Structure 1
Amino acid sequence: MATAGDFTMTRAQRIRLTLACLLSYFIAAGLISQIGAISGPMAAHFGKALTDVSERFSSLSSGIMIGTLLSLVWFEWSGLKRTIISCYVIGAAVLLAILFGDSWSWLPVLLAVAGAVAGLGLAAAAVTLALSYSARIRAVLLLCTDLCFALAGIVCAPAAAQMISHGLPWSASYGALAALCALVVVLAVLSPYPPSAREAGERVAHERWPLGAWLCAIALLFYLLGQVTMLLWLPQHLQQQLHVDYVTSTAGISRYWTGMAIGQLLLVALLQRLDFRRLLPLIACASVAASFPLWLSRDASALMLATTVLGIVNGGVLKLSLTYATTLVRHPQRVVALLLSCGSLGQALSPYLSSQLVRHADTALALQSVSVCYALMAACIVVAMRRRALPVPHPSPAVAGDLP
């Protein structure tokens, strides 16, 4: 038997529970990472402009933001197991409706619901991991959740491209994600879950947050605003400006996520020797420089390499920003939820704002905006790092959820 506090599970139950949590991260990342790969075929299928399609996907990002915001209060009155099962039953049904319904008018509603249940399910999975494991093991699982995000990015976009290139509909990959939602439901039904905050009778004391915590939240807004813009328009830029074929252009997204996976592994090694407070401003500023080749490069191979380098460099921005923000407060649960909500806001704004740039100019301007977003992110982080951290230990930032 394995025990975390008063919560006890067998090894098999713990494996099922952990797998369900990690799959929640994979599903959320899978929804986002393939947007650039399916936008072109989706536009051709419905006879719409690419900018119209990208605006449709703002519903997905908005849904994720709503789900993340909902997690701020949801677990004060709802149990974790019920939340997980409900979210992924609804998620599977909605993804199948997108696959078989084939409706342009209903698409924003379906994408918004899919995003909301993914965002809430992600937070529920993170809370579950935090309540089920000791701090040492939890740190390892935080890396695993990041790697699941990266793995989804590596797998989902090329898989969607291959399905479409073999004659399947643009939404075929959503069917695969629906199957994963069903698997999460099965695993959740077979697993015991730790008590939620409501069930445990816990309450987080009110606390005034310092400026540094707010700046970290703003930094994550700009970080994810830039990241989603890059994921959305990089394939189109490769096709339109560098004349690369469809399947090859979607490989650029996979290269980015591969770089992120490598960067996260390197980060773990560096953290054994260096304080994360030294690494965070360095990788934030390096991300700005690494984003320039996205719009300066005129060679497809060089641009592919640049996306990998960018992934390596900024793979730790999200996690280290969350970690630093928790050192500025005595009760980090709510502040982490705030940071994640700001990040979700960046995701929600990206499709609409970037489509306006492309509508009035081209894909190069959208990629230039990535550099602007990263520059603003780095500025916020550098200023935030000037705030003194409290010399007290805090629980892991996983307690309120996580993002790619």
Structure 2
Amino acid sequence: MNNKKRLTLLSFLAYFSMSGMLAPMGILSGPMSEYFGQPVTEITTRFSWLTMGILVGAVIALFVFDWMRLKRLMMLVYGVIFASLASLAFLDDLTLIGIALGMVGVSCGIGMPGAALIITKTYETKQRASMLVITDGWFSIAGIFCSWFAIFLLAREYHWSGVYQFVACIAALVFILSAISVFPETDTAEADSRESGPWPLSIWLCLFALFLYTLGQWSILLWLPNYVETTLSVPRERAGQLVSQYWTGMFAAQLFVAWWVMKVGVRRLAMIAATTTSMLSIPLWLYGEIDGLIILATITGFANLGLLKITLSFATQMVPIPTARLVSSLLLGATVGTAVAPWLTSQIVTATNNHFILQFGTGCFFMMTVLLVLASRDYLAQSAALKTT
């Protein structure tokens, strides 16, 4: 395997490991609740250590690449991920588990931008977009596989952290690939000063839309298995399939969107994806039969159409020169939604129930759609004004 292939593989695996941590959270909350003798809401809150850590890591990533060479940084963060995940098999204290998850989160929050930077510096412009789309595919594949693998291990009464031990092996592989690879030069002294003034309103609308998107998505994925298990009396293994089927649908959509976006354009596709995501999340909390819900979860995942990257691409069209700071800020908006979801949704479920939180997720999607429509109108108005000047 040549150096370019090693760099590409470690970048893909970095995305895989991130999704491998997030995707099984809703599946693991029930078994962890039984293992530790704590309410599900308390266990779900513990996952906020992971998601808040990702947020902290995303903030650190805005400037850490100026301080440390990329190769050394990738080896450091994935070494920490491996050690922290491996420790979960031996920890029985929820506070220590929270700290370990927090360390994983911070490291993932730094590692994913690092992986994107590797792709950006390794591939030319024409190939770069395709490779970045493929990273989303690896994220979805991890969601599919790790959700299924968590169900598989739990059904055979393995330790609740079994799926995370697998992710630890992936992190170790990223560490090894980083150690034996020659990294591209990453001079991060970009000319952010080339940005022409403050960002337009449409970018800020997209940023808040990304926050609502991830908050809505995790409100549903975290609690849908628990809802069907407790309210519809569905076996845990079947309930967990809903998450893996969602990621399966999303992966299929990403393969489709890689072609379709060339036909309809990013702005129009963002409007379509926001609408379908909002509308097709409703049946998830209306339908009451598990076989149909599994099909609906797949359809909902497909209807997502890779909305996060579509919105990101749409926002970068709104300025003459999309800088690293712009992209990092947009991703940070999405990360905040992911980070606050476990804690916030646990509080909502405590005050209401696990059915209302699914409706809350749909509400987030509809508010996101409104913001994207407003962003589209503002963008079109700006474009028209520029043409007349």
TM range (shorter): over 0.9
Counterpart residue identity of residue 334, structure 1: R
Structure 1: give runs of 5+ residues left out of the alignment: 1-10, 392-404
Structure 2: give runs of 5+ residues left out of the alignment: 384-389
Match of 1:204 in 2: 192
Distance 1:50 1:388 in 2: 43
Match of 2:166 in 1: 176
Counterpart residue identity of residue 192, structure 2: V
Counterpart residue identity of residue 378, structure 2: R
Distance 2:53 2:92 in 1: 20
Alpha-carbon offset, residue 61 of structure 1: 0.6
Match of 2:386 in 1: none
Name which of structure 1's ranges 162-171 and 51-60 shifts more when overlaid on structure 2. 162-171
Alpha-carbon offset, residue 204 of structure 1: 2.1
Name the SS for the 2:271 alignment partner.
helix
Query: Equivalent of 2:277, from 268, 287, 305?
Result: 287
Counterpart residue identity of residue 146, structure 1: D
Contact 2:46 2:94 (C-alpha < 8 Å) held by counterparts: no
Name the SS for the 1:298 alignment partner.
coil
Match of 1:340 in 2: 331
Alpha-carbon offset, residue 182 of structure 1: 0.7
Query: Equivalent of 2:222, from 225, 232, 238?
Result: 232
Counterpart residue identity of residue 204, structure 1: D
- Give the 5 Å matches for 1:347-358: 347-358=338-349
Alpha-carbon offset, residue 59 of structure 1: 1.0
Contact 1:37 1:235 (C-alpha < 8 Å) held by counterparts: yes
Distance 1:215 1:388 in 2: 11
- Give the 5 Å matches for 1:33-182: 33-182=23-172
Alpha-carbon offset, residue 219 of structure 1: 0.3
Q: Which has the higher helix share?
A: 2
Contact 2:11 2:119 (C-alpha < 8 Å) held by counterparts: yes
Counterpart residue identity of residue 357, structure 1: I
Distance 1:297 1:232 in 2: 18
Distance 2:363 2:47 in 1: 22
Query: Equivalent of 1:273, from 263, 266, 274?
Result: 263
Distance 1:316 1:144 in 2: 11
Alpha-carbon offset, residue 81 of structure 1: 0.6
Contact 1:33 1:157 (C-alpha < 8 Å) held by counterparts: yes
Name the SS for the 1:362 alignment partner.
coil
Alpha-carbon offset, residue 388 of structure 1: 2.9
Match of 1:7 in 2: none
Alpha-carbon offset, residue 76 of structure 1: 1.8
Distance 1:36 1:208 in 2: 40
Distance 2:347 2:30 in 1: 17
Distance 1:162 1:252 in 2: 14
Match of 1:3 in 2: none
Name which of structure 1's ranges 217-226 and 234-243 shifts more when overlaid on structure 2. 234-243
Match of 1:384 in 2: 375
TM score, norm. by length of structure 1: 0.91
Name which of structure 1's ranges 268-277 and 124-133 shifts more when overlaid on structure 2. 268-277
Alpha-carbon offset, residue 360 of structure 1: 2.1
Distance 2:121 2:184 in 1: 6
Distance 1:273 1:301 in 2: 34
Distance 1:85 1:100 in 2: 24
Distance 1:247 1:47 in 2: 20
Number of equivalent positions: 379
TM score, norm. by length of structure 2: 0.94
Name which of structure 1's ranges 32-41 and 133-142 shifts more when overlaid on structure 2. 133-142
Distance 2:137 2:243 in 1: 15
Q: 1:257-278 deviations in whole A, cap 9, x for unaligned?
A: 0000111112122123211211
Find out whether 1:360 has 2:340 as its counterpart.
Answer: no
Q: 1:12-62 deviations in whole A, cap 9, x for unaligned?
A: 111111000000000000100000111111111110000000111111110
Distance 2:41 2:305 in 1: 28
Name the SS for the 1:109 alignment partner.
helix
Distance 1:18 1:24 in 2: 10
Name the SS for the 2:379 alignment partner.
coil
Alpha-carbon offset, residue 162 of structure 1: 1.2
Counterpart residue identity of residue 280, structure 2: A
Alpha-carbon offset, residue 356 of structure 1: 1.6
Contact 1:197 1:203 (C-alpha < 8 Å) held by counterparts: no
Q: 1:75-95 deviations in whole A, cap 9, x for unaligned?
A: 122211111100000110111
Counterpart residue identity of residue 121, structure 1: G
Contact 1:204 1:331 (C-alpha < 8 Å) held by counterparts: no
Alpha-carbon offset, residue 111 of structure 1: 0.9
Alpha-carbon offset, residue 316 of structure 1: 2.1
Match of 1:395 in 2: none
Contact 2:77 2:107 (C-alpha < 8 Å) held by counterparts: yes
Contact 2:85 2:165 (C-alpha < 8 Å) held by counterparts: yes
C-alpha RMSD of the superposition: 1.4
Distance 1:16 1:128 in 2: 11
